[in-house]
Amino acid sequence: MRLIKQNFERDGSGLVTLFPEEPEDMWYAYNLIRPRDLLRASALRRVVTESATGSTSSTRVHTTLTIRVESLDFDPQSSQLHVSGRIAEETKFTKVGQYHTLDLELQRNFTLIKDGEEAWDSVARGIIKEACDPVKSADVWAVVMQEGLANIAVLTGARTVLRQRVEVSIPRKRAARASDHDKGLEKFFQTTLDTLLRQIDLNESKPILLASPGFTASSFQKFITDTATRTGNKALMAQKANLVVVHSSSGHLHSLNEILQTPEVTARLQNTQYAREGKLMDEFMTLLRKDDGRAWYGPNEVEKAVEKGAVGRGGGVLLISNALFRAQDVAIRRRWVRLVDQVRDVEGGEVRTLSSEHESGKRLEGLGGIAAILTFPLDDLDEEEEESEILNGNTNDIPV
């Protein structure tokens, strides 16, 4: 993403003009645009004109429209973003109040205007900074497989996207007809390789994880190198150093979580965003199992820990899902923004916003979307919540 223009006012309102350059940028735009924002972008609008004789004709015209956002529709597979709302500025072809859906496109500017108080909060500005960072983590490809099944996915700085699923029927291996099994396995490997080559750019040097139970992944690695040698494909042969074979419990995509924790993968991906986030989630789960009061999850419990100054300098970490910031209720979003600001700017702790499209983010969502690693142990934060309910008169389920 390229930042074309930025103008923020003291009250937190303002605008930015952005130039999306790659599909990943649409994910950042999806997390940045909120209902009630003003969005200005190029559009294709159908216009009906009436002649002097009363006959009508319909034409499509290219124009620039500004809408007041009401809803967003993001397709993670194609990285297409559709934003709907009412037209906010009259043009030659449209009137204020008419509905239109803007389809944001790559290589075309769009301008986002947030005119509410504190609309451009620290989280929104952080998204722009991350999206426009020229040294964002490089993509990593993964083929999670078992005999007859392969899931080809790409891991970016913000998402894990399943690009293609390959299924090929392979006859069972029997002593009398072992050749049928071998032919079926070769067909499966060839189909998987052809599919992978349609997805990746052989001129780029990025890790390719091959994971499976048993020896399927290592056999596929050998098939790739043998194919490159037999066909004289130098670009494919150059990818040999990028192939990383690891063990997984199954060939399904959910196994990526365990794959990213293996030492060989951690060593290759140690500087990437999702590797750091995965490590923090592992640390949190280890502390949670210890039950020593240094790991808490859930909105109320984490807020109480922050209030007590336990998520600050010296190891305090706030883990929060970016899905919480997509709340349409402004008050709910401000609740999380202020918590982030309190930890980062006042307490001096670390804040990690985990993507809901990564395995680490999905694990966090299972805990309510928010968790914290504390600098010192706190006990009975959940019991404090129960006590406050009693004091407030909420005794519906309390025996007397």
Residue 230 CB contacts under 8 Å (≥ 6 apart), including other chains = none
Convert the pLDDT of each residue in 320-333 to its tens digit: 999 999 887 878 98
The answer to whether the beta carbons of residues 296 and 311 sit under 8 Å apart is no
Convert the pLDDT of each residue in 68-117 to its tens digit: 999 999 987 788 899 999 999 999 889 999 999 999 988 999 999 998 77
More confident residue, 311 or 261: 311
- 3-class secondary-structure state, position 161: strand
Convert the pLDDT of each residue in 199-216 to its tens digit: 888 887 788 999 999 999
- Quick one: how far is CA 337 from the chain centroid? 19
Res. 138: pLDDT tops 60: no
DSSP string computed for 306-337 = HHTT-SSTTT-EEEEEGGGGG-SSHHHHHHHH
Res. 126: pLDDT tops 50: yes
Q: What is the dihedral of CA 387, 390, 392, 393, to 10 degrees?
A: 180
The answer to whether the beta carbons of residues 380 and 309 sit under 8 Å apart is no
Convert the pLDDT of each residue in 223-282 to its tens digit: 999 999 999 999 999 999 899 999 999 999 888 878 877 887 877 776 566 677 778 898
For the beta sheet containing 2-8, the strands, ordered from the edge strand earlier in sequence to the opposite edge, are 2-8, 14-19, 110-114, 38-50, 56-75, 80-87, 99-104
CA distance 343 to 359: 24
CA distance 245 to 60: 52
pLDDT of residue 260: 79
CA distance 376 to 356: 28
pLDDT averaged over every residue in the chain: 87
More confident residue, 297 or 266: 297
- 3-class secondary-structure state, position 80: strand
Q: How close are the terminal C-alpha atoms of the chain, in Å?
A: 61
pLDDT of residue 396: 46
How large is the average pLDDT for residues 298-318?
A: 94
| Helix, strand, coil percent content, the chain, rounded in steps of 5 | 35, 30, 35
Closest by CA position to 40, among listed 83, 99, 92, 80: 83
Which amino acid is residue 143, in one-letter code?
A: V
The answer to whether the beta carbons of residues 99 and 77 sit under 8 Å apart is no
Residue 201 CB contacts under 8 Å (≥ 6 apart), including other chains = none
Res. 12: pLDDT tops 70: yes
222 DSSP 8-state letter: H
Q: What is the pTM of this model?
A: 0.66
- Most trustworthy range by pLDDT among 172-186, 250-264, 329-343: 329-343
- 3-class secondary-structure state, position 151: strand
